[in-house]
Amino acid sequence: MKIRKAVIPVAGLGTRFLPATKAIPKEMLTIVDRPTIQYIVEEVVASGIDQIIFVTSEGKSAIENHFDYNFHLDAVLREKHKIALGEELNNISNLIDIVSVRQKKPLGLGHAIWTARHVVGDEPFMVLLGDDMVLSQVPCAKQMLELFDEIGESIVAIQRVPANQTHQYGIVEGEENGREKTFRVRRMVEKPAPGTTDSDMAIIGRYILMPDIFDILSTTTPGHGGEIQLTDALLALTKKRSMYAYEFDGKRYDAGDKMGYLKAIVAYGLRHTEIGKDFREHLIEIAADL
Ligand code: G1P
Protein backbone atom coordinates (compact mmCIF):
# COMPACT_ATOMS: atom_id res chain seq x y z
CA MET A 1 0.00 0.00 0.00
CA LYS A 2 1.86 3.07 -1.21
CA ILE A 3 0.72 6.41 0.15
CA ARG A 4 0.05 8.53 -2.92
CA LYS A 5 -1.96 11.44 -1.57
CA ALA A 6 -1.51 14.13 1.06
CA VAL A 7 -4.33 16.28 2.41
CA ILE A 8 -3.33 19.75 3.61
CA PRO A 9 -6.14 21.70 5.30
CA VAL A 10 -5.71 25.42 4.63
CA ALA A 11 -9.22 26.67 5.35
CA GLY A 12 -8.50 28.19 8.80
CA LEU A 13 -9.01 31.93 9.32
CA GLY A 14 -5.66 32.66 10.97
CA THR A 15 -7.15 34.83 13.71
CA ARG A 16 -4.02 34.39 15.84
CA PHE A 17 -2.13 36.48 13.26
CA LEU A 18 -4.51 39.37 12.70
CA PRO A 19 -4.09 41.99 11.34
CA ALA A 20 -1.34 40.38 9.19
CA THR A 21 -3.83 37.80 7.91
CA LYS A 22 -6.72 40.18 7.24
CA ALA A 23 -6.19 40.12 3.45
CA ILE A 24 -3.68 37.28 2.97
CA PRO A 25 -3.92 33.65 4.05
CA LYS A 26 -1.77 32.77 7.07
CA GLU A 27 -0.20 30.00 4.96
CA MET A 28 1.29 32.73 2.75
CA LEU A 29 3.26 34.40 5.57
CA THR A 30 6.92 34.30 4.65
CA ILE A 31 9.76 32.43 6.30
CA VAL A 32 12.94 33.98 4.78
CA ASP A 33 12.08 33.77 1.07
CA ARG A 34 9.05 31.53 0.67
CA PRO A 35 5.61 31.16 2.20
CA THR A 36 5.21 28.65 5.03
CA ILE A 37 2.94 26.47 2.86
CA GLN A 38 5.76 25.99 0.34
CA TYR A 39 7.93 24.33 3.00
CA ILE A 40 5.09 21.89 3.73
CA VAL A 41 4.57 21.17 0.02
CA GLU A 42 8.33 20.64 -0.41
CA GLU A 43 8.29 18.17 2.49
CA VAL A 44 5.53 16.23 0.72
CA VAL A 45 7.46 16.25 -2.57
CA ALA A 46 10.69 15.15 -0.84
CA SER A 47 8.77 12.24 0.68
CA GLY A 48 7.72 10.83 -2.69
CA ILE A 49 3.95 11.51 -2.55
CA ASP A 50 2.24 12.12 -5.93
CA GLN A 51 -0.69 14.42 -5.20
CA ILE A 52 -1.70 17.14 -2.75
CA ILE A 53 -5.30 17.94 -1.87
CA PHE A 54 -5.73 21.41 -0.39
CA VAL A 55 -8.87 21.88 1.67
CA THR A 56 -9.53 25.57 1.15
CA SER A 57 -12.11 28.21 1.97
CA GLU A 58 -13.06 31.66 0.78
CA GLY A 59 -10.12 34.06 0.48
CA LYS A 60 -7.45 31.38 0.03
CA SER A 61 -6.90 31.68 -3.73
CA ALA A 62 -3.42 33.15 -3.18
CA ILE A 63 -2.31 29.64 -2.15
CA GLU A 64 -3.59 28.09 -5.38
CA ASN A 65 -2.05 30.94 -7.39
CA HIS A 66 1.31 30.43 -5.70
CA PHE A 67 1.53 26.86 -6.98
CA ASP A 68 0.15 27.71 -10.41
CA TYR A 69 1.95 28.90 -13.54
CA ASN A 70 1.92 32.71 -13.79
CA PHE A 71 1.94 33.49 -17.51
CA HIS A 72 2.19 37.27 -17.06
CA LEU A 73 5.06 37.13 -14.56
CA ASP A 74 6.90 34.59 -16.71
CA ALA A 75 6.65 36.88 -19.77
CA VAL A 76 7.86 39.93 -17.81
CA LEU A 77 10.84 38.05 -16.35
CA ARG A 78 11.81 36.73 -19.79
CA GLU A 79 11.66 40.24 -21.22
CA LYS A 80 13.98 41.41 -18.45
CA HIS A 81 16.29 38.39 -19.06
CA LYS A 82 15.72 37.14 -15.49
CA ILE A 83 15.73 33.59 -16.74
CA ALA A 84 16.90 31.82 -13.56
CA LEU A 85 14.25 33.52 -11.45
CA GLY A 86 11.58 32.68 -14.04
CA GLU A 87 12.66 29.04 -13.94
CA GLU A 88 12.57 28.98 -10.16
CA LEU A 89 8.97 30.23 -10.23
CA ASN A 90 7.98 27.72 -12.88
CA ASN A 91 9.55 24.95 -10.82
CA ILE A 92 7.15 25.78 -7.99
CA SER A 93 4.20 25.18 -10.31
CA ASN A 94 5.73 21.89 -11.47
CA LEU A 95 6.47 20.58 -7.97
CA ILE A 96 3.49 18.24 -7.69
CA ASP A 97 -0.08 17.64 -8.86
CA ILE A 98 -2.41 19.78 -6.75
CA VAL A 99 -6.19 19.52 -6.35
CA SER A 100 -8.38 21.79 -4.22
CA VAL A 101 -11.66 21.11 -2.46
CA ARG A 102 -13.69 23.70 -0.60
CA GLN A 103 -14.73 23.33 3.03
CA LYS A 104 -17.97 25.25 2.95
CA LYS A 105 -18.33 25.82 6.69
CA PRO A 106 -15.63 26.12 9.41
CA LEU A 107 -16.80 23.04 11.31
CA GLY A 108 -13.37 21.84 12.47
CA LEU A 109 -10.29 19.88 11.42
CA GLY A 110 -12.17 16.57 11.31
CA HIS A 111 -14.73 18.06 8.95
CA ALA A 112 -11.96 19.56 6.77
CA ILE A 113 -10.38 16.12 6.32
CA TRP A 114 -13.80 14.56 5.61
CA THR A 115 -14.29 17.16 2.85
CA ALA A 116 -11.40 15.51 0.93
CA ARG A 117 -12.97 12.01 1.01
CA HIS A 118 -14.00 11.81 -2.67
CA VAL A 119 -10.57 12.85 -3.91
CA VAL A 120 -8.70 10.54 -1.53
CA GLY A 121 -10.94 7.52 -2.18
CA ASP A 122 -10.41 4.14 -0.57
CA GLU A 123 -6.68 4.23 0.19
CA PRO A 124 -4.44 5.26 3.10
CA PHE A 125 -3.30 8.87 2.92
CA MET A 126 -1.22 11.46 4.70
CA VAL A 127 -2.38 14.65 6.44
CA LEU A 128 -0.07 17.61 7.07
CA LEU A 129 -1.12 20.69 9.04
CA GLY A 130 0.31 23.89 7.63
CA ASP A 131 1.11 25.48 11.01
CA ASP A 132 3.52 22.72 11.98
CA MET A 133 6.91 23.08 10.33
CA VAL A 134 9.53 20.43 11.00
CA LEU A 135 13.25 20.92 10.49
CA SER A 136 14.93 17.54 10.20
CA GLN A 137 17.57 15.59 8.29
CA VAL A 138 15.00 13.19 6.85
CA PRO A 139 11.66 14.93 6.15
CA CYS A 140 9.15 14.12 8.91
CA ALA A 141 6.60 12.83 6.38
CA LYS A 142 9.23 10.50 4.92
CA GLN A 143 10.13 9.10 8.36
CA MET A 144 6.45 8.28 8.85
CA LEU A 145 6.06 6.72 5.41
CA GLU A 146 9.03 4.44 6.14
CA LEU A 147 7.37 3.33 9.37
CA PHE A 148 4.07 2.81 7.53
CA ASP A 149 5.84 0.49 5.06
CA GLU A 150 6.64 -1.73 8.06
CA ILE A 151 3.41 -1.58 10.05
CA GLY A 152 0.66 -0.71 7.53
CA GLU A 153 -1.57 1.03 10.07
CA SER A 154 -2.46 4.63 11.00
CA ILE A 155 0.32 6.72 12.53
CA VAL A 156 0.23 10.08 14.31
CA ALA A 157 3.39 12.13 14.79
CA ILE A 158 4.09 13.15 18.38
CA GLN A 159 6.51 15.20 20.40
CA ARG A 160 6.94 15.52 24.16
CA VAL A 161 5.57 18.68 25.75
CA PRO A 162 5.73 20.02 29.32
CA ALA A 163 2.70 19.20 31.51
CA ASN A 164 1.58 22.85 31.50
CA GLN A 165 1.18 22.75 27.69
CA THR A 166 -0.77 19.50 27.21
CA HIS A 167 -4.07 21.44 27.11
CA GLN A 168 -2.97 23.04 23.81
CA TYR A 169 -2.71 19.74 21.90
CA GLY A 170 -4.27 16.45 21.08
CA ILE A 171 -2.67 14.10 23.63
CA VAL A 172 -1.92 10.42 23.05
CA GLU A 173 -1.72 7.79 25.76
CA GLY A 174 -0.12 4.47 24.91
CA GLU A 175 2.69 2.01 25.41
CA GLU A 176 6.00 1.52 23.63
CA ASN A 177 5.73 -1.13 21.00
CA GLY A 178 9.11 -2.80 20.71
CA ARG A 179 10.24 -0.33 18.04
CA GLU A 180 12.19 2.71 19.07
CA LYS A 181 10.04 5.84 19.40
CA THR A 182 6.88 3.98 18.38
CA PHE A 183 3.88 3.62 20.69
CA ARG A 184 0.67 1.66 20.39
CA VAL A 185 -2.14 4.18 20.97
CA ARG A 186 -4.56 3.28 23.77
CA ARG A 187 -6.41 6.57 24.21
CA MET A 188 -6.31 10.05 22.79
CA VAL A 189 -7.99 13.26 23.83
CA GLU A 190 -8.20 16.68 22.20
CA LYS A 191 -6.91 19.51 24.40
CA PRO A 192 -7.36 17.79 27.79
CA ALA A 193 -8.09 20.02 30.79
CA PRO A 194 -4.92 20.56 32.89
CA GLY A 195 -4.22 17.65 35.22
CA THR A 196 -6.48 15.16 33.41
CA THR A 197 -3.72 13.19 31.63
CA ASP A 198 -0.35 11.83 32.74
CA SER A 199 0.89 11.65 29.17
CA ASP A 200 3.24 14.22 27.65
CA MET A 201 2.86 12.91 24.07
CA ALA A 202 1.37 15.71 21.95
CA ILE A 203 0.08 15.21 18.43
CA ILE A 204 1.98 17.28 15.87
CA GLY A 205 0.38 18.01 12.51
CA ARG A 206 1.46 14.90 10.57
CA TYR A 207 -0.79 11.85 10.24
CA ILE A 208 -1.02 8.72 8.10
CA LEU A 209 -4.63 7.56 8.09
CA MET A 210 -6.50 4.51 6.90
CA PRO A 211 -9.53 5.42 4.75
CA ASP A 212 -11.93 3.99 7.40
CA ILE A 213 -11.52 7.39 9.04
CA PHE A 214 -13.99 8.92 6.55
CA ASP A 215 -16.93 6.76 7.66
CA ILE A 216 -16.11 7.56 11.27
CA LEU A 217 -15.86 11.30 10.52
CA SER A 218 -19.27 11.28 8.85
CA THR A 219 -20.85 10.51 12.24
CA THR A 220 -18.39 12.28 14.57
CA THR A 221 -20.25 14.87 16.64
CA PRO A 222 -18.73 18.23 17.63
CA GLY A 223 -16.21 17.97 20.46
CA HIS A 224 -13.72 20.41 21.97
CA GLY A 225 -14.57 24.02 21.04
CA GLY A 226 -17.82 22.88 19.37
CA GLU A 227 -15.82 21.61 16.36
CA ILE A 228 -15.68 18.19 14.67
CA GLN A 229 -12.31 17.03 15.95
CA LEU A 230 -9.98 14.73 14.04
CA THR A 231 -8.65 13.46 17.37
CA ASP A 232 -12.14 12.21 18.39
CA ALA A 233 -12.46 10.31 15.10
CA LEU A 234 -8.96 8.87 15.57
CA LEU A 235 -9.93 7.57 19.01
CA ALA A 236 -12.93 5.83 17.40
CA LEU A 237 -10.58 4.36 14.77
CA THR A 238 -8.41 2.82 17.51
CA LYS A 239 -11.44 0.72 18.52
CA LYS A 240 -11.50 -0.83 15.02
CA ARG A 241 -7.80 -1.25 14.25
CA SER A 242 -4.37 -0.52 15.65
CA MET A 243 -2.92 2.95 15.62
CA TYR A 244 0.61 4.05 16.38
CA ALA A 245 2.22 7.24 17.65
CA TYR A 246 5.67 8.04 16.35
CA GLU A 247 8.15 10.36 18.03
CA PHE A 248 9.85 11.76 14.94
CA ASP A 249 13.43 13.03 14.66
CA GLY A 250 13.50 16.77 14.13
CA LYS A 251 12.53 20.11 15.58
CA ARG A 252 8.97 21.33 15.19
CA TYR A 253 7.97 24.99 14.96
CA ASP A 254 4.41 26.21 15.43
CA ALA A 255 4.30 28.78 12.64
CA GLY A 256 0.69 29.55 13.54
CA ASP A 257 1.80 31.24 16.74
CA LYS A 258 3.69 34.56 16.94
CA MET A 259 6.58 33.25 19.03
CA GLY A 260 6.77 29.98 17.08
CA TYR A 261 6.78 31.90 13.81
CA LEU A 262 9.68 34.11 14.93
CA LYS A 263 11.64 31.06 16.12
CA ALA A 264 11.04 29.43 12.73
CA ILE A 265 12.33 32.49 10.90
CA VAL A 266 15.53 32.42 12.96
CA ALA A 267 16.01 28.64 12.55
CA TYR A 268 15.36 28.61 8.80
CA GLY A 269 17.33 31.86 8.34
CA LEU A 270 20.39 30.34 10.04
CA ARG A 271 20.22 27.34 7.69
CA HIS A 272 19.68 29.36 4.54
CA THR A 273 22.43 28.67 1.98
CA GLU A 274 22.67 32.27 0.76
CA ILE A 275 22.25 34.39 3.90
CA GLY A 276 22.68 31.91 6.78
CA LYS A 277 26.28 32.83 7.56
CA ASP A 278 25.72 36.61 7.56
CA PHE A 279 22.54 36.19 9.57
CA ARG A 280 24.41 34.19 12.22
CA GLU A 281 27.03 36.95 12.54
CA HIS A 282 24.30 39.55 12.81
CA LEU A 283 22.52 37.63 15.57
CA ILE A 284 25.78 37.32 17.51
CA GLU A 285 26.23 41.10 17.21
CA ILE A 286 22.69 41.76 18.41
CA ALA A 287 23.05 39.32 21.30
CA ALA A 288 26.27 41.03 22.42
CA ASP A 289 24.36 44.34 22.73
CA LEU A 290 21.51 42.89 24.82
C1 G1P B 1 -4.61 20.62 15.87
C2 G1P B 1 -5.09 19.26 16.37
C3 G1P B 1 -4.35 18.87 17.65
C4 G1P B 1 -2.85 18.89 17.40
C5 G1P B 1 -2.42 20.28 16.84
C6 G1P B 1 -0.95 20.25 16.42
O7 G1P B 1 -5.00 21.60 16.81
O8 G1P B 1 -6.49 19.31 16.60
O9 G1P B 1 -4.74 17.57 18.04
O10 G1P B 1 -2.15 18.62 18.61
O11 G1P B 1 -3.20 20.63 15.69
O12 G1P B 1 -0.53 21.48 15.94
P13 G1P B 1 -4.95 23.18 16.50
O14 G1P B 1 -3.54 23.62 16.74
O15 G1P B 1 -5.37 23.36 15.08
O16 G1P B 1 -5.91 23.80 17.47
pLDDT digits (tens, 9 = 90+) for 180-237: 999 999 999 999 999 899 999 999 999 999 999 999 999 999 999 999 999 999 999 9
The pTM is what? 0.96
pLDDT at 94: 87
190 lines ligand 1 (CB under 6 A): yes
Answer yes or no: is 173 within a domain.
yes
Which residue numbers in the chain have pLDDT < 70? none
Answer yes or no: is 156 within a domain.
yes
Closest Cα to atom 14 of ligand 1 = 169
- The number of folded domains in the chain is 1
132 lines ligand 1 (CB under 6 A): yes
Answer yes or no: is 277 within a domain.
no
Please tell me whether the peptide bond between 162 and the residue prior to it is cis, using omega within 30 degrees of 0: no
Amino acid at site 181: K
* Residue 17, domain CATH: 3.90.550.10
Answer yes or no: is 133 within a domain.
yes
Mapped onto helix, strand or coil, the DSSP state of residue 247 is: strand
Closest Cα to atom 13 of ligand 1 = 169
Q: Are 111 and 103 in contact (CB under 8 A)?
A: yes
Residues 6+ apart with CB under 8 A from 84: none
Specify which residues 203 forms β-bridges with: 158
Answer yes or no: is 38 within a domain.
yes
Domain containing residue 168: 5-252
52 lines ligand 1 (CB under 6 A): no
Of the candidates 221, 243, 209, which has an alpha carbon nearest to the alpha carbon of residue 7?
A: 209
pLDDT at 33: 94
Answer yes or no: is 282 within a domain.
no
Residue 131 DSSP code: T
Answer yes or no: is 288 within a domain.
no
Mapped onto helix, strand or coil, the DSSP state of residue 286 is: helix
- 55, 140, 160, 203: residue to mutate for ligand 1 pocket, most atoms within 8 A of CB: 203
Distance 70 CA to ligand 1 centre (A): 33
Answer yes or no: is 263 within a domain.
no
pLDDT digits (tens, 9 = 90+) for 45-69: 999 999 999 999 999 999 999 999 8
pLDDT at 153: 96
CA distance 42 to 230: 24
